Amino acid sequence: MTKKQGNSTRCVHAGDTHDAATGGVMPAIHQSTTFAYPAMREKPEHIYTRESNPTRDAFERALTELEGGSRTLAFASGMAASTAVLELLTPGDHIIGPANVYGGSFNMLRVAGEGRFEVSYVHQNEGPPALRAAWRKNTRLVWMETPSNPLMHITDLKALSELCAANGALSCVDSTLATPLATRPLALGVDISMHSITKYIAGHSDVLGGTLTVSDSDLAGRLMQVRNRTGGVLAPLDSYLALRGLKTMELRVRRQFSNASRVAEELQAHGKVAQVHYPGLADHPQHALAGKQMDGFGAIVSFHLHGDENAPERLLNALELFTIAESLGGVESLAGFPPLMSHATMTPEARRAAGITGNLVRLSCGIEDAADLVTDLLQALEQV
Ligand SMILES: *Cc1c(COP(=O)(O)O)cnc(C)c1O
């Protein structure tokens, strides 16, 4: 039944999260860490909040439905969720990561590659040939990110996950920038869909969290064991806030995507802008793939400025509506300089290999009126 419903309906109703005990339209925030056994040999439904909690369950159920999987596990941050995936591997296994990747994920893979695993990076937007060239006998995980942060490269999830399945490796995609509305990684064959819910799902820059959603129940069980052992779970209050955010996600994200596309067009037409990276633009190298794999093109726009090396700083300091800040995906528009901010943990060589060089500015478009965002950018560009 849910398949026929539109995304807004699905966001509001996914997971059937009414409070069964009281009829509350929203679930209760169960702060209890432990739950009473009716008798010594009778286990309650929930035992201990590190393992499961009714409020977290409600959020997990809702996201599972949106992602089209069988189980979601919510973690205390996106990085806690990502790290849990590495815990599925055996020391000595080989991981293939994307050359252009979120700075924190690069850092995770870099440290994982220091004695524990073998790690290599490929330009995954180049498709299966690039992946095949990097493949080793012990390749067990391909870590993907699409659209990639900050350059908005698009990776062909169907093609790459097929290659993984045929060669005995897990495929996992960081789908944060796509949102659960624009891309359904599990339907394309990916084993694990990961989100930093800190971004679009919670959506208000006030919750830190991460999720892993899978279709396979055996994989869900293994991840459940990892989460139980490592303990980085999403807290009950944050689970509640994330669920509240998820209910309005379609409205927010649709506005954010359309704002980003307007901003990208205005920037592309501006004389002080050298290049705009946005998959909705016809000249983006993976524009056709994005059109096929995504419903909408995302709300991150990055661009290279003409001018000397201080041009990004002059632009950022001149912006009035866009706040200079890390993070993305919230209702307010943010601007950043990746080499000093979101991607500071990457080594300079890795940044060069990824193309995160020169006068690169990253914008996260919020839900403000598009005309106001454009006015702000144009006045700031005057001062570059
Ligand atoms: C923010 C982000 C992360 C990390 O998530 P946290 O919730 O900050 O731990 C991972 N991947 C992408 C693409 C992100 O934007």
Active-site residue, 206 included: no
Do 112 and 118 form a contact (C-beta atoms < 8 A)? no
Q: Render each residue's pLDDT in the chain as its tens digit; 384 residues.
A: 445 799 999 999 999 889 989 999 999 999 999 999 999 999 999 999 999 999 999 999 999 999 999 999 999 999 999 999 999 999 999 999 999 899 999 999 999 999 999 999 999 999 999 999 999 999 999 999 999 999 999 999 999 999 999 999 999 999 999 999 999 999 999 999 999 999 999 999 999 999 999 999 999 999 999 999 999 999 999 999 999 999 999 999 999 999 999 999 999 999 999 999 999 999 999 999 999 999 999 999 999 999 999 999 999 999 999 999 999 999 999 999 999 998 998 889 989 988 898 999 999 999 999 999 999 999 999 999
Active-site residue, 200 included: no
CB-neighbour burial class of residue 38 (10 A; exposed 0-12, middle 13-18, buried 19+): exposed
CB-neighbour burial class of residue 287 (10 A; exposed 0-12, middle 13-18, buried 19+): middle
Beta bridge partners of 141: 95, 170
Do 132 and 152 form a contact (C-beta atoms < 8 A)? no
- State residue 4's pLDDT score: 78
226 C-beta neighbours (distance < 10 Å), count: 19
Q: Which of 56, 71, 102, 376 is catalytic?
A: 102
Residues with CB under 6 A from ligand 1: 77-79, 102, 104-105, 145, 149, 174, 176-177, 196, 198-199, 208, 210, 328
Active-site residue, 199 included: yes
Centroid of ligand 1 to alpha carbon of 191 (angstroms): 19
Rounded CA separation 342/196 (Å)? 14
232 C-beta neighbours (distance < 10 Å), count: 18
- State residue 3's pLDDT score: 57
In order of 140, 272, 314, 318, 375, the CA distances from 382 in angstroms are 50, 9, 10, 9, 11
